[in-house]
Chains A and B, each alone.
Chain A
């Protein structure tokens, strides 16, 4: 069985980093704000964390309601330092997105968007850019067959690729492509990499599908422990090669892979620096976190009061030092996994990345 035995430099870094994380929690300066602008979607991904549905007539939150929250935020924080991330559902199904974006831009917020790219057209992209879109992330979960399988809609691969090409051609656009690694696309990672390089992509994020939402009960969506390690090795290889800036998602403490498959050491910033307004007005952190950890609702509470006074379990993770985490030697480095892998009332996280890599060590 493998053992995690960091060298002196890494040990030192982990020690100082754990102190840094505690202080950041005390400071809890908001600088990354999700807006789940709709729960509607135009495709039906097998792994959807929001479990959203193709419902064309479901009502969206009125844009004014979120803009009021943004206004509140700008009274306490410098808007230039708060990134607004529009997510969903699929944000492009909202027809008023360019107008909302323009208002955010006028308030001084940089804003970005997470999209499947299906509804993106050159005209819409130009409109969004004119409205201040600074950053975007498009999902590409494999080559045609696997992408369309996972996304549940034929033709979604071509649409996603066209959207990525638009981003890649745009001067000054900050963007990246994300890929959910699963048992079907694991063996084509190298091909996906070459494809991305050919269409001009320079940043690629890989992550695993978490056992939440629709993905919880589909074994095809998950990779084995060995494949997980293989994926991390693949990332390391790409980073050494230097052709495409590949990184692993924000998930979990990774032992020896820590700080070499992504920048920085593991730090789940949910509720510490990351906040959100969800589709029904709920106040939370990352949109894929269990709704049992919702802290308030913009229709009942003042967002800034909630941000300041609640989020206790987000900022002091000791409440999660239960079950398998209670006696874990890596507690200081991990603090009970990412918040999206916790469920209220469940003493263990839904998955432990460290355990997958090191077994019971």
Chain B
């Protein structure tokens, strides 16, 4: 089989598996959207007057088997969400600028 065709098949299988992992994580995403409402009061620090940036996606104890893009804070789970290939986050590395890449996709 030609190499290019083989690579295409590998990429296709990766995409399928990625979506399966995302599907298995879906309840997390729904729960995540709901809980964000409850956190707003925790973001202001009276002693320093600092307000924490309101850009954190909330996490839950439910497992996340794959890294989806952040789902909007007050929205619902998109029916056909656009997911990007996340960059690995390594101990000795940095958190990559995912938000801008998400737009490019």
Contacts and interface: CB of A to CB of B under 8 A. Distances in A.
Interface in B47-105: 47-48, 50, 52-53, 55-67, 85-101, 104
Contacts of B25: 13, 259
A250 B58 contact: no
A264 B13 contact: no
B64 A259 contact: yes
A260 B93 contact: no
A81 interface: yes
Contact of B87 (A31, A286, A288): A31
Contacts of A24: 14
A239 B61 contact: yes
Interface stretch (A117-125, A152-160, A201-209, A349-357): A201-209
Contacts of B86: 263-264
B17 to A, nearest CB: 4
A31 B24 CA distance: 25
Nearest to A31: B87
A10 B45 CA distance: 38
B65 A112 contact: no
Interface centre among B13, B39, B95 (most CB of A within 10 A): B95
Interface string A155-198: 00000000000001000001110100000000000000000011
Contacts of B30: none
Given A13-B63, A263-B67, A205 B91 contact: yes
Contacts of A265: 21, 65
A250 B60 CA distance: 19
- Give the size range of A's interface with the partner: 35 or more
Main secondary structure of the interface of A (DSSP, over half): mixed
Interface centre among B14, B92, B94, B96 (most CB of A within 10 A): B94
Given A16-B21, A136-B94, A203-B95, A31 B64 contact: no
Interface residues of B, number: 54
A205 B95 CA distance: 10
A9 B65 CA distance: 10
Given A13-B24, A200-B52, A286 B104 contact: no
Contact of A23 (B17, B91, B104): B17
A242 interface: yes
B65 A260 contact: no
Interface centre among B43, B56, B92 (most CB of A within 10 A): B92
Contact of A134 (B10, B24, B97): B97
Contacts of B24: 9, 12-13, 16
A34 interface: yes
A80 B97 CA distance: 11
A101 interface: no
B10 A264 contact: no
Contact of A13 (B11, B21, B48, B87): B21
Nearest to A237: B61
Interface of B: 7, 10-11, 13-14, 17-18, 20-21, 24-25, 35-36, 38-39, 42-43, 45, 47-48, 50, 52-53, 55-67, 85-101, 104
